[in-house]
Amino acid sequence: MSAQETGWPATGRFRVTTAPGGLGLVQDLLNTLAPEGSAHRDLLADKASAQEWADATARQWAAVTGGTAPHVLVDDEALARLRAYRARFQDAAIEPGAGEGPPGEAPLTGEAALELGADGQVRATPQGAGWRRLASLLLLAAWQAQADDLRRRLKVCRNPACRVAFYDRSRNNSGVWHDVRTCGNTANLRAHRARRREEAGTSAT
């Protein structure tokens, strides 16, 4: 991995493949959540840890994209919003294309401006300040990844106790575990034991 790839503060804890460009910001938000029973902590557990993460992830986003790092002051509102975006992105990564969410659940929004540059190219630029600017960056990154057919490669581990976000670079986009040696082997062992118990029960009857 390059220095930029390992520079995401949350994702860098798990030694997983990083999403390209700005999509790494979405992955990093997802990876602020700690797997159950791990030594890692939830980086959005309180305002202090969330502030530390927001500062570091903004710097890394700027290093990767060449943009200007937004300054986010994490107050109670910002913390609640960041957690809400994390939960919504995680739901989408667990069940991509599942359709509409629960009835009455409002969409999470961000502001952006469309610009026609002197080179004739149309670009979307983030708007807002503080957490609103960060939300705009997250949504623009996800939108661009959808347009490039890359967002489907950003996944969370199938192990429900893990849910580490990883970028699947396999040719057929078939990865389901963030690490086949840990979560994958554990799941396979459980399935094997379940089959053995089922076979034992069948033979006993």
Is 103 inside a domain boundary?
A: no
Q: What is the pLDDT of residue 192?
A: 35
Which range of residues forms the domain containing residue 132?
A: 5-97+109-204
The least confident of 42-51, 91-100, 196-205 is 196-205
Full-model pTM:
0.84
Tens of pLDDT, residues 79-90: 999 999 999 999
Burial class (CB in 10 A: 0-12, 13-18, 19+), 19: buried
Is 102 inside a domain boundary?
A: no
- Average of pLDDT values for 186-194? 46
The least confident of 60-64, 156-160, 200-204 is 200-204
Q: Where are the beta strands (DSSP E) in 31-179?
A: 112-116, 122-126, 154-156, 165-167
| Structural domain total, the chain | 1
CATH code, 152: 1.10.3300
CA 84/CA 86 separation, integer angstroms: 5
